[in-house]
């Protein structure tokens, strides 16, 4: 049992602790997306294939997701301050080693270990901030913390793009080093640990549970990350690892429910609010990371924008979220029910997605995206804090850390699922739309002939020989079809995302029945 000594801080100590925790959360989240824009440069420097380079992202995600559910137990074993500081140090050291990697598989190994260190930063930061504030101010504390969680994925691409354009890819890792060193020193100086009961002895540690968790989550993350590239269940590796993930998860749950000192306390999920909160956190991660993935991908692959331009496009959305966070924190403190705010956020996100469906063309400009992304910013601001406070609302003491670990893990898994499903869906819809468009194109069709002739004449006017112009015209027409097919596929993604979030609105409103009374923000985080 945790002793209920107060961890509330005041004055400059609280400010320093808050800033330290937020910067640590940002380090972790930014690193999940900053690498995306550097993959091509890494491939060139390290002589890697695209598939091998993809492991730089996958390895970090696997290390990250494995450690998240264990953070509460590790904090108890080593003390929250010590564990948090050690995680920062691990993250910082392996950031340096990532920047100095001389081969792709060396980089992959360092990224996995960096993810082990980074996994603790997000969840532990949330718990530290929560317990540093008095109960009447914890709504605002969650709003401050939420800024990092929501804005972080948006900051990664433009920051990475700027570094790649002005330096080289190792510097996307080197920028972590000074922040990490300062954060570790401030943690050791200012962060306090709650008093826990006696630590587990070696023989009491749930080593089997740790192994099953790593096996299940690692296999699942691999399937999600690589499934599309390897044609899903047509690939033996994907098939085997899918079975391993299912069996590993089953035996992990059995182990944790029967072992006297489980590594992950699953019994906390008996709390109805937490169960609902974990589901909603999954959906939040799906929308947050899915939209952060698809919009930059569209403007780069279809519109020809640079990575920096794509990243900068997301800034207005991030700023809107930043403005919304304290507003939502204040509304919750005044007693506005979380489920109503979250339902409104779901509705706004559905509108954002439908807006995307309506505006996508091969020539969509920056101005077309602006107000759509503003709506996304409002939606994200209205989702994070209400979902978090709802999930943790009836938990106490040590359960807070356990609940935060569950919601954090589900948000990450939601993002992984979202990106995997979107990638797969894009590929499938691309084949569907291409088949449909090609079936309607007949060489004898006057409109098709006219289009081909126009392309031929344009090429010949630039000095191309007639035979070459004919071949080039057919290639040009194929290029036009391919681009149109891609646009239609992206439109479908936005449409189905809109439907999914719209269907969530009544579900979120009905959550009211799981809440015994109106939740005061002061009690919701305690």
Regarding whether 124 and 232 lie in a shared domain, the answer is: no
Tens digits of residue pLDDT in 70-101? 777 787 778 878 888 999 999 999 999 998 98
Render 147-193 in DSSP notation, one character per residue. Answer: HHHHHHHHHHHHHHHHHHHHS-TTHHHHTHHHHHHHHHHHHHHH--P
- The parts of the chain modelled with pLDDT lower than 70 are 1-7, 9-11, 36-37, 40, 50-51, 54, 136, 138-140, 142-143, 146-151, 153-154, 195-205, 221, 224-231, 307, 393, 397-398, 401, 437-479, 511-526
Regarding whether 100 and 124 lie in a shared domain, the answer is: yes
Nearest alpha-carbon partner for 390 in 347, 332, 432, 446: 332
Regarding whether 277 and 254 lie in a shared domain, the answer is: no
pLDDT value of position 4: 42
Measured CA angle at 482 (ends 232, 436), to 5 deg:
75
- Cα gap 412→326, rounded to integer Å: 24
User: What are the tokens at 153?
Assistant: 């994925």
Regarding whether 240 and 288 lie in a shared domain, the answer is: no
Is 201 part of a structural domain of the chain? no
Regarding whether 24 and 46 lie in a shared domain, the answer is: yes
The answer to whether 405 and 392 are in contact (CB under 8 A) is no
Regarding whether 164 and 186 lie in a shared domain, the answer is: yes
Regarding whether 18 and 88 lie in a shared domain, the answer is: yes
pLDDT value of position 407: 78
pLDDT value of position 422: 80
Mapped to the 3 state alphabet, what secondary structure does 317-330 carry? HHHHHHHHHHHHHH
Regarding whether 248 and 174 lie in a shared domain, the answer is: no
Domain end residue (candidates: 166, 196, 226):
196
What is the number of other CB atoms lying within 10 angstroms of the CB of residue 86? Answer: 17
Q: Which domain holds residue 454?
A: 269-526
Q: Which residues of 374-392 are buried (b: 16+ CB within 10 A; e: fewer)?
A: bbbbbbbbbbbbbbbbbbb
Regarding whether 332 and 216 lie in a shared domain, the answer is: no
333 three-class SS: helix
Domain end residue (candidates: 141, 161, 196):
196
Regarding whether 492 and 442 lie in a shared domain, the answer is: yes
Regarding whether 351 and 309 lie in a shared domain, the answer is: yes
Is 94 part of a structural domain of the chain? yes
- Cα gap 436→431, rounded to integer Å: 9
CATH number for the domain that contains residue 320: 1.20.1250.20
**Count of the separate structural domains present in the chain:** 3
> Is the sign of the CA dihedral 171, 177, 183, 186 positive or negative?
negative
């Amino acid at each position: 049992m945790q002793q209920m000594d107060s961890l509330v801080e005041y004055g400059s100590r609280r400010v320093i602790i808050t800033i330290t925790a937020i910067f640590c959360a940002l380090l972790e989240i930014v690193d999940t997306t900053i690498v995306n824009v550097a993959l091509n440069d890494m491939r060139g420097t390290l002589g890697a294939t695209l598939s091998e380079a993809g492991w730089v992202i996958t390895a970090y995600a696997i290390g990250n997701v494995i450690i998240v559910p264990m953070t509460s137990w590790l904090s108890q074993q080593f003390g929250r301050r010590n564990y948090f500081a050690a995680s920062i140090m691990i993250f910082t050291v392996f950031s340096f080693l990532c920047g100095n990697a001389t081969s792709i598989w060396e980089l992959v190994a360092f990224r996995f270990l960096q993810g082990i260190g980074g996994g603790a930063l997000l969840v532990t930061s949330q718990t530290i901030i929560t317990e540093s504030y008095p109960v009447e101010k914890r709504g605002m504390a969650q709003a401050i913390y939420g800024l990092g969680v929501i804005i972080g994925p948006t900051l990664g691409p433009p920051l990475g793009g700027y570094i790649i354009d002005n330096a080289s890819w190792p510097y996307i890792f080197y920028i972590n080093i000074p922040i990490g060193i300062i954060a570790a020193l401030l943690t050791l100086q200012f962060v306090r640990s709650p008093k826990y009961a006696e630590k587990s002895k070696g023989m009491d540690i749930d080593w089997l549970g740790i192994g099953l968790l790593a096996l299940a989550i690692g296999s699942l993350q691999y399937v999600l990350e690589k499934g599309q590239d390897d044609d899903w269940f047509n690939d033996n590796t994907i098939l085997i690892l899918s079975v391993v993930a299912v069996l590993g998860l089953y035996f992990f749950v059995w182990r944790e429910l029967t072992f006297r000192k489980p590594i992950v306390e699953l019994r906390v999920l008996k709390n109805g609010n937490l169960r609902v909160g974990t589901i909603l956190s999954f959906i939040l991660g799906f929308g947050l990371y899915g939209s952060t993935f698809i919009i930059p991908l569209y403007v780069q692959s279809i519109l020809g924008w640079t990575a920096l331009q794509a990243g900068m496009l997301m800034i207005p959305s991030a700023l809107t979220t930043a403005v919304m966070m304290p507003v939502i924190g204040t509304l919750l403190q005044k007693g506005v029910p979380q489920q109503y705010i979250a339902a409104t956020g779901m509705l706004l996100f559905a509108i954002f997605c439908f807006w995307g469906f309506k505006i996508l063309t091969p020539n969509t400009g920056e101005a077309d995206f602006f107000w759509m992304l503003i709506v996304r910013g409002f939606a994200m601001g209205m989702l994070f804090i209400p979902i978090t406070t709802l999930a943790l609302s009836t938990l106490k003491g040590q359960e807070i850390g356990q609940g935060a670990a569950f919601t954090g893990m589900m948000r990450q898994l939601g993002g992984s699922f979202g990106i995997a499903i979107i990638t797969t869906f894009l590929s499938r819809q691309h084949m569907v739309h291409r088949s449909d468009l090609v079936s309607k194109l007949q060489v004898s069709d006057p409109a098709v002939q006219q289009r081909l002739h126009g392309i031929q004449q344009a090429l010949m006017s630039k000095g191309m020989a007639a035979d070459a112009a004919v071949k080039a015209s057919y290639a040009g027409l194929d290029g036009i079809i391919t681009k149109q097919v891609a646009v239609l596929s992206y439109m479908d993604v936005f449409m189905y995302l809109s439907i999914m979030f719209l269907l969530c609105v009544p579900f979120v409103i009905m959550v009211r029945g799981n809440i015994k009374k109106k939740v005061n923000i002061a009690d919701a985080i305690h």
